[in-house]
Copies of this chain bind each other. A is one copy, B any other.
Amino acid sequence: MSDRPHVTLEDVARSAEVSLATASRALNGTTRVRDDLRERVLSAAAELAYTPNAHAQALAGGSRRTVGVICHDISDPYFAAITRGVMRVADSHGLLVMLAGTFADPDRELACVSTLRAQRASAILLTGSAFEDRAWERRMAAELEPYRRGGGRVAVVTRHRSLKADTVAPDNRGGARALVEAMHGLGHRRFAVVTGPTRLTTVADRVAGFREGLAGLGIELSERDVFAGSFDRDGGYEATKALLAAKHKATCVLTASDVMAVGAVSALGAAGLSVPEDVSVTGFDDVPLVRDFGLTTVGLPLERIGAEALELALDDAGGGGARGRVRRVSGEVLLRGSTAKPRRRRRG
């Protein structure tokens, strides 16, 4: 029982009466070690409750046992689900996940990359939507480039024309289109969109999909049909309040995410309107618990998306050279109780 702050490999070696190298080898199993020696080392290590210093290991050129995940907000079930997928495969590779939250602040996102770079994460996953901002993209690319040169892998979810990183790309646009068509099929003709800030590519893509789908059906979405808030539950609530205040006559409210949809439904309820009797509401993502409340939405395999992002980043087949592989993931329209045929128009 030394009084030193940490038990080191040297302590173990001394206690087992072997050399440092032997102790290291015994512990790592990299080279054969005489059985009795290995036993001695192992039991000495256990005895002393030895834990290798991961920093020293990393520095000595050994492992890189961490991956970084950057998301906007882990309490958003979208990111939670993706992160869960990441953690599953990280776990199976013996990797530890370092989680950074940006709260959708572009500068923070840049800073997170820098931090993860400092930690020599073996991979960095950008799971949050990109920002539609040329200058930002450039700075991000500049931050990522040296990271890669140092052997770091990068994968992104949903983004980034210019980033040419391995990408898992949910088909937001196509899903949105299909959803709109389904709603049209139900008989809806008057739509409104409740959305987050369109500088987020995810949001922009979904809204673009709504607009395209509608246009294809001969319905134009004007600016006055779009209500934007923050990209979360409260944003959905506020945007819907604005929609109500504007006395919008939509029979179907398309929201940019399940989370926003929850806010939308609440706002509608608070105004005495019921879903879907008075108005239909759709979400996007099909996040776990919200699913139980019967929201019509576009289902995305979130957990798998996270898992694939890490797999892609870790997979060397791309060759450390030719990166920029894109894995497309399509969404599936899930019709549930939050949507119904519109009532006949009230007056004429």
- Which residues of A line the B interface, CB within 8 A? 5-7, 49, 51-59, 66, 73-75, 77, 80-81, 83-84, 87, 91, 96-101, 114-120, 142-143, 145-147, 149-151, 233, 259, 262-263, 265-266, 288-290, 292-293, 303
Contact = CB atoms under 8 A, between A and B. Distances in A.
Contact of A74 (B74, B146, B262, B263): B74
Given A119-B96, A262-B292, A75 B66 contact: no
Contacts of A75: 77, 80-81, 83-84, 288, 303
A87 B97 CA distance: 14
B292 A114 contact: no
A331 to B, nearest CB: 19
16 contacts: A5-B151, A51-B146, A52-B118, A54-B118, A54-B120, A55-B56, A56-B59, A66-B119, A74-B83, A75-B303, A96-B115, A96-B116, A96-B119, A98-B99, A262-B289, A262-B292
B84 A73 contact: yes
Nearest to A82: B75
Given A59-B59, A290-B289, A49 B146 contact: yes
A281 B151 CA distance: 53
B96 A101 contact: no
A216 to B, nearest CB: 32
A84 B103 CA distance: 10
A266 B290 contact: no
Contacts of A265: 292
Contacts of A101: 84, 87, 91
B53 A118 contact: yes
A100 B147 CA distance: 24
Given A74-B84, A77-B289, 19 more contacts: A7-B146, A49-B143, A51-B147, A54-B119, A54-B120, A55-B55, A55-B119, A55-B120, A56-B59, A66-B98, A66-B119, A74-B83, A75-B288, A75-B303, A77-B80, A233-B289, A259-B289, A265-B292, A266-B292
* Most chain B beta carbons < 10 A, residue from A52, A55, A75, A97: A75
A97 B96 contact: no
A77 B77 contact: yes
Given A74-B84, A80-B77, A98-B66, A51 B117 contact: yes
A150 B288 CA distance: 40
A73 B119 CA distance: 24
Nearest to A6: B150
A293 B115 CA distance: 39
Contacts of A98: 66, 96-99
A290 to B, nearest CB: 6
Contacts of A73: 84
B97 A99 contact: yes
Contacts of A147: 51
